């Protein structure tokens, strides 16, 4: 599966990019900011390549945060267990879709 370079949430274009150095220094595989319209993820963490599966999981995790924040559901967005389960279900539904 490919990770998009950008996508829309309401009228905002969310840019997706890689920031291995900053995220590794912060001890994170990804982060996001709806205010800045940005998702950052790692393809390499502290000198080790991140698997494609983990990179995609991280993208979906951050995407769920962006969507919840766009909805004004900031408390729900801070519930990491909810975000992680929702992200995995969203990924599964996308990857198993038949057209």
8 A C-beta contact, residue 4 and residue 16? yes
8 A C-beta contact, residue 62 and residue 39? yes
User: pTM score, two decimals?
Assistant: 0.95
At residue 1 the predicted structure's pLDDT band, cuts being 50, 70 and 90, is: confident
Of 92, 40, 37, 46, nearest in space to 62 by CA: 40
pLDDT tens track for 44-97: 999 999 999 999 999 999 999 999 999 999 999 999 999 999 999 999 999 999
pLDDT tens track for 3-50: 999 999 999 999 999 999 999 999 999 999 999 999 999 999 999 999
């Amino acid at each position: 599966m490919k990770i998009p370079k950008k996508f829309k949430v309401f009228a905002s274009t969310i840019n997706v990019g890689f920031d291995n150095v900053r995220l590794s220094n912060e001890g994170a595989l990804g982060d996001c900011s709806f205010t800045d319209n940005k998702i950052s993820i790692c393809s390499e963490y502290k000198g080790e390549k991140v698997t494609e599966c983990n990179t995609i999981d991280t993208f979906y995790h951050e995407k769920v945060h962006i969507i919840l924040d766009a909805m004004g559901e900031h408390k729900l967005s801070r519930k990491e267990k909810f975000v992680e389960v929702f992200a995995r279900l969203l990924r599964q539904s996308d990857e198993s879709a038949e057209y």
